[in-house]
Amino acid sequence: MTLLLSNDDAHHLLTMPDCMAALEESYRATYEAIAINGRRSDMVGPGGDADSAYVLKMMGAILPQQKVGAIRLNSDLFRWVTRGERKQRIKVPAAPGERWVGLVLLFSTETGEPLAIFPDGVVQRARVGATSGIALDRLARQDATSLAMLGSGWQAEAQILAAASARRLARIRCYSPNAERCREFAARMATQTSVPADAATSPEAAVRGADIVLCATNSLGYVFLEGWCEPGQHLGTIRDRELDPGAIARANCVIVHDRDNLTGQHVELAKGAVFQEKAKELGLDPRTAHLVGAPSLDELVGGAAPGRQRDTDITCFLNYHGVGLQFAAIGALLHRKARAAGAGRDLPTEWFTEDVHS
């Protein structure tokens, strides 16, 4: 049977430390070339009006140790809007019931069969957080205790959980433009992590004196500026253009998640007018194009890339561009846990297999 799982299932079955362990195995396997990521493809087509785009995204991988392959796909309507002073890119919940479309399909490398199908949301957040956590664990000072979080959304929560798994935090300070939302977020995170957390009144106030600064916003403008850098800091971002390129340039050690997609070569654009301009924002900022030569997380995990050398070093992890292997690793973990817990809904595997082949 093929197991259909929900985001609720994933939420209840996955823990951040388990996800970090599963991903760590997959980065080591990537470094050893045992596991493979396929080529990612982001296809951008017209979205119906000048400020919209339809984006179909696919990434896949094989993780032989776990005997799985995985494909993660997204079928999204994007809209570019201006909120206050900030330009933002919004994913429109255009599917029936105001829903989004992201799926992971997990396959057995022993039989080829689809083992599980699940929405990508919770797993996506877990893999982004866990990946930041693995990097943070290797790059931040061992005695780092204070965390600044820029952003208070869905991804920010996992970033904090991952940081709290990697270091004994004593203080969390959050900033996001909506003050009320930010206060609520800080209170929630204090409960979840048992670490005192409060809301700052400006990004600068949030990051001042922080050992660790993490960004997880949907702003299209820089949220952390060069002048805010302090010796000994670890900086992390999950998006292009959150960190001022000047801040990245100040870092003594910059690790990228994956070099392959940094140049935006995985993005294919259909002919069109305005949306094509917008779609460029999916690509790489030319001012950080030199990062295509930076060491990657699998090299850091595998021991080939040096991390922090001195307590005064600034370290930086650019968690851009997901790869299929993250979904294979966490997918295998989720499938195993779901089977053990009897979670999910069994669908006939015959629905997704066939008795002919080409």
Which residues 3-42 are close enough to bind a copy of itself by CB under 8 A?
A: 4, 7, 32-42
Q: Is 96 in the site for a copy of itself (CB under 8 A)?
A: yes
In the complex with a copy of itself, the residue whose CB is nearer, 251 or 284, is 284
Count of residues touching a copy of itself (by CB under 8 A): 78
Q: Which stretch binds a copy of itself (CB under 8 A): 14-22, 69-77, 140-148, 222-230?
A: 69-77
Q: Is 145 exposed, middle or buried (0-12, 13-18, 19+ CB in 10 A)?
A: middle
The residue within the footprint of a copy of itself, chosen from 81, 82, 93, 310 (CB under 8 A), is 93
**Selected binder of a copy of itself within 27, 69, 213, 296 (CB under 8 A):** 69
Using CB under 8 A as the binding rule, the residues of this chain from 130 to 169 that contact a copy of itself are 154-155
264 makes contact with a copy of itself (CB under 8 A): no
In the complex, least distance from residue 355 CB atom to a copy of itself, rounded to whole angstroms: 6
- The encoded tokens of residue 60 equal 């896949």
Contact between 268 and a copy of itself (CB under 8 A)? yes
Choice between 82 and 109, CB closer to a copy of itself: 109
Contact call for residue 88 and a copy of itself (CB under 8 A): no
Query: Under the criterion CB under 8 A, does residue 283 sit at the interface with a copy of itself?
Result: no
Which of 76, 137, 240, 299 touches a copy of itself (CB under 8 A)? 76
Position 22: which residue type?
A
User: Where in 307-336 is the site for a copy of itself (CB under 8 A)?
Assistant: none
Q: Which is nearer to a copy of itself, 94 or 187 (CB)?
A: 94
Residues paired with residue 92 on neighbouring β-strands, in sequence order: 77
Q: Under the criterion CB under 8 A, does residue 75 sit at the interface with a copy of itself?
A: yes
Give residue for tokens 């600044």: 148
Minimum separation from the CB atom of position 148 to a copy of itself (A): 21
Half-sphere exposure in the Cβ direction for 119 (13 Å, CA): 12
Q: Where are the alpha helices (DSSP H) in 140-263?
A: 154-166, 179-193, 203-207, 245-250
- Residue 24: CA atoms inside 13 Å, Cβ hemisphere, count? 16
Residue 244's identity, in one-letter code, is D
299 binding a copy of itself? (CB under 8 A): no
Residue in 217, 195, 233, 241 with CA at minimum distance from that of residue 315: 233
d(CA 197, CA 207): 13
- Count Cβ atoms within 10 A of the Cβ of residue 275 and give its class: 0-12 exposed, 13-18 middle, 19 or more buried: buried
Query: How distant, in Å, are the alpha carbons of 43, 125, 128, 219, 330 from that of 131?
Result: 25, 10, 5, 21, 11
Q: How far is C-alpha 323 from the chain's CA centre?
A: 9
H or E stretch covering 119 = strand 114-119
Choose one: 72-80, 135-143, 192-200, 290-298; the region binding a copy of itself (CB under 8 A).
72-80
Structure tokens at 187: 């209170």
- Does position 48 bind a copy of itself by CB under 8 A? yes
Cα 97 to Cα 326: distance, rounded to the nearest angstrom = 28
Task: List binders of a copy of itself among 166-225 (CB under 8 A).
Answer: none
Among residues 61, 207, 210, 229, which is the contact residue for a copy of itself, using CB under 8 A? 61
> Among 20, 275, 7, 14, which Cα is nearest to 138's?
20
Residue identified by tokens 């820029």 is 150
44 lies in the binding site for a copy of itself (CB under 8 A): yes
Which of 49, 81, 82, 113 contacts a copy of itself by CB under 8 A? 113
Q: Is there binding between residue 77 and a copy of itself (CB under 8 A)?
A: yes
Of the candidates 19, 22, 128, 206, which one interacts with a copy of itself according to CB under 8 A? 128
